[in-house]
Structure 1
Amino acid sequence: MSQQFGRKISLIIGQDAGAALDLSDLRIVFNVQRGDLQTPNSARIRVYNVSNNTAQRIEKEFTRVVLQAGYEGNFGIVFDGNVIQVRRGRENPTDTYLDITAADGDMAYNFATVNTTLAAGSTQADIIKVCADAMAPYGVSVGYVAADLPANPLSRGKVLFGMARDHLSTVAKSTQSLWSIQDGKLQIVPETSYVPGAVPVINAQTGMVGMPEQIQNGIKVRMLLNPSIKIGRLIQLDNSSIQKYEFGLSISQQPENYKIASQNKINGDGYYYVMTSEIWGDTRGNDFYTEVICLAVDATGGIELRNAASGVSAPAPAKLGVINPYG
């Protein structure tokens, strides 16, 4: 099994199609926030000592940024999105910086609109298609959309008018699912399910830092930067390493103690749904981490397991259980 060493990073900024610049050789400090909510994922990227001509081109010409990071054998996209703001500054007498603020699917989220009519008998899938078509001109394509979402056929014709994001939120509410944009792709996952795929094993050998911890919102675990961790998918943890939530001692905290412990339970088989992640790093410093907050999953069948460092996979997975976010 290979170990996680030999950091790699790639930062490309350019247009959706056309000219682009590779800033990978410069010092880069970044922070990426991702989640399974409809609010776009975000990134703040600082690039040091960019030439004046390059900085001017970035400010005036470019609209998209793609950040890839990881280690030899485990390298991939950690952010792909629209440039929201570019600003320049000076950190000290010798070092200048260029700050790039970006959001994943921001243009589609803010500007995609729908204006059409659906006939009686149309399903939620038809509404999703209309919204996806509206987002396509803004660079968002269709990613994973669960095939088993309730159809909920319309009993009469329906006019769809307004922001595509609002209609997707209505679909999500009526089908008990979550929608988000992940790396420029529309993703819709049932609240009691997850995106199928390989399940990275997170332990000390594959880069886990410290011990996983049961907190108020779920199970928190930190690891060396790992691009294979994706929102809406699963990871596997060793339950014996998870530090349980510490109860408060005051009488007023007792009901809350047991509520938190039951809602954010530890899964018997060690499978957890990735709800949010934060990825941060410094190509000239020590920071190079991924930290996730996840929820327990009832995994009752076989699962395809992948060692996050070696990339080795087991046979194809069988059907799994469901997420129980409320205990």
Structure 2
Amino acid sequence: MTGKLFGRIVKIQVSGDYKAEFTSSELHIEFEVPFDDDEKPNETSVMIYNLSQNSISRIKKGSSLTVQAGYKSDYGVLAQGEISHFFTRREGVDKVTTIKMLEGEDLAKKKTAKPITFKAGTKADVIIKRLASVLGFKLLELKLPKNVIYKKGYTVTGNIENNLIEVVKDCGASMYNRRGGRVIRSIKEGTVEHFRLEDSTGLLQSPEPFDEDGVRGYNVMSLLQHRITVASIIEIESKTANGKYRVKKGKHLCNGDEFRTEMKVI
């Protein structure tokens, strides 16, 4: 695996009315891609140096943005979403275009004009699928610890996402964004990545233990690894942490000489 961690690659793809791909082989690119296990969309920040004025003028708010990174023989998607805003500024002799992207649409302001009603005896998964469709997000996984039956029915009024979160919690589940879509399942579950993090696969230092609000785990830092994101189940082998862990939150960073993934695992 060690031999695969050479030849860094970054690809930024814009799609919509204007389609383009910007790569680190042609341009200097920096980014910060955060991830965590709450329902609020995270904001990814990408900085591209010295884009042509033609490219800058054709980037639009609402266009799709995909961030891929890794190494020549092993790279993948870190985040996908819509461009929320962008701007260009001068930094010495360089022209720097900063693009902000929300991974997953911010649904907090979406309200229903009239009540959405479900008849008596409706199961929670039916309500969840309907509201996901109304809100228009990609549901990557739906796995409920308990599929609650609403014996008296259920009525959605006002803020749609708040109603969805209520139903999800009734079922003992959590909802969060993951690589451009949403996952609804137990907060204790994750996605097995079949990946072992150790010195030879990019672990940069021995994980350091943390204890925050009764949650115990390890702070981990590695060379950038696209397989790792929120709820990834990975195996760690080190002097301090050994075994399988679930990634709770973290970020991917590409900034000058830095090309790493930082995470909290539990």
The TM-score, its normalising length taken from structure 2, stands at 0.89
* Corresponding position of 2:138: 141
Runs (4+) of structure 1 moved beyond 6 Å? Answer: none
Structure-to-structure mapping, 1:146-185, within 5 angstroms: 146=143, 148-185=144-181
Decide whether aligned partners of structure 1 residues 133 and 80 sit closer, same or farther in structure 2, where only a CA change above 3 A counts.
same
Decide whether aligned partners of structure 1 residues 69 and 230 sit closer, same or farther in structure 2, where only a CA change above 3 A counts.
same
* Corresponding position of 1:321: none
Any conservation in 2 of the 1:87–1:100 contact (CA below 8 Å)? yes
* Corresponding position of 1:41: 42
Q: Does 1:99 align with 2:70?
A: no
Decide whether aligned partners of structure 1 residues 82 and 113 sit closer, same or farther in structure 2, where only a CA change above 3 A counts.
farther
Decide whether aligned partners of structure 1 residues 172 and 66 sit closer, same or farther in structure 2, where only a CA change above 3 A counts.
same
Q: Work out the CA distance in 1 between the residues paired with 2:248 and 2:61.
A: 35
Any conservation in 1 of the 2:142–2:184 contact (CA below 8 Å)? yes
Question: How much has 1:41 moved relative to structure 2?
Answer: 1.9
Any conservation in 1 of the 2:61–2:84 contact (CA below 8 Å)? no
* Corresponding position of 2:261: 290
> Aligned AA for 2:182?
L
Decide whether aligned partners of structure 1 residues 62 and 177 sit closer, same or farther in structure 2, where only a CA change above 3 A counts.
closer
Give SS of 1:106's match. coil
Structure 2 segments unaligned to the other structure (5+ residues)? none
Which one has the bigger helix percentage?
1
Q: Work out the CA distance in 1 between the residues paired with 2:74 and 2:252.
A: 15
> Aligned AA for 1:156?
K
Q: Work out the CA distance in 1 between the residues paired with 2:188 and 2:45.
A: 32
> Aligned AA for 1:210?
Q
Question: How much has 1:109 moved relative to structure 2?
Answer: 5.1
Any conservation in 2 of the 1:74–1:228 contact (CA below 8 Å)? no
* Corresponding position of 1:19: 18
Any conservation in 1 of the 2:61–2:86 contact (CA below 8 Å)? no
Superposition RMSD in Å: 2.0
* Corresponding position of 2:123: 123
Any conservation in 1 of the 2:174–2:187 contact (CA below 8 Å)? yes
Q: Does 1:226 align with 2:225?
A: yes
Any conservation in 2 of the 1:40–1:109 contact (CA below 8 Å)? no
Question: How much has 1:62 moved relative to structure 2?
Answer: 5.5
Report Cα offsets for 1:269-301 as digits up to 9, x if no partner.
61111110210103xx31110111111xxxxxx
Report Cα offsets for 1:177-220 as digits up to 9, x if no partner.
2101222212012033223x333100001001111111234311
Give SS of 1:241's match. coil
Report Cα offsets for 1:291-319 as digits up to 9, x if no partner.
11111xxxxxxxxxxxxxxxxxxxxxxxx
Any conservation in 1 of the 2:61–2:85 contact (CA below 8 Å)? no
Question: How much has 1:112 moved relative to structure 2?
Answer: 6.8
Decide whether aligned partners of structure 1 residues 113 and 181 sit closer, same or farther in structure 2, where only a CA change above 3 A counts.
farther
Question: How much has 1:91 moved relative to structure 2?
Answer: 0.6
Question: How much has 1:88 moved relative to structure 2?
Answer: 1.1
Q: Does 1:200 align with 2:222?
A: no
Decide whether aligned partners of structure 1 residues 81 and 186 sit closer, same or farther in structure 2, where only a CA change above 3 A counts.
same
Question: How much has 1:126 moved relative to structure 2?
Answer: 1.2
* Corresponding position of 2:30: 29
Any conservation in 2 of the 1:74–1:226 contact (CA below 8 Å)? no
The TM-score, its normalising length taken from structure 1, stands at 0.74
Give SS of 1:132's match. helix
Question: How much has 1:110 moved relative to structure 2?
Answer: 4.2
Structure 1 segments unaligned to the other structure (5+ residues)? 243-268, 296-327
Aligned length: 258
Decide whether aligned partners of structure 1 residues 270 and 77 sit closer, same or farther in structure 2, where only a CA change above 3 A counts.
same
Decide whether aligned partners of structure 1 residues 72 and 110 sit closer, same or farther in structure 2, where only a CA change above 3 A counts.
farther
Which one has the bigger strand percentage?
2
Give SS of 1:125's match. helix
Question: How much has 1:10 moved relative to structure 2?
Answer: 0.7
> Aligned AA for 2:211?
Q
Question: How much has 1:66 moved relative to structure 2?
Answer: 0.6
Decide whether aligned partners of structure 1 residues 3 and 54 sit closer, same or farther in structure 2, where only a CA change above 3 A counts.
closer
Q: Work out the CA distance in 1 between the residues paired with 2:262 and 2:36.
A: 12
Give SS of 1:272's match. strand
> Aligned AA for 1:105?
G
> Aligned AA for 1:207?
G
Decide whether aligned partners of structure 1 residues 112 and 80 sit closer, same or farther in structure 2, where only a CA change above 3 A counts.
farther
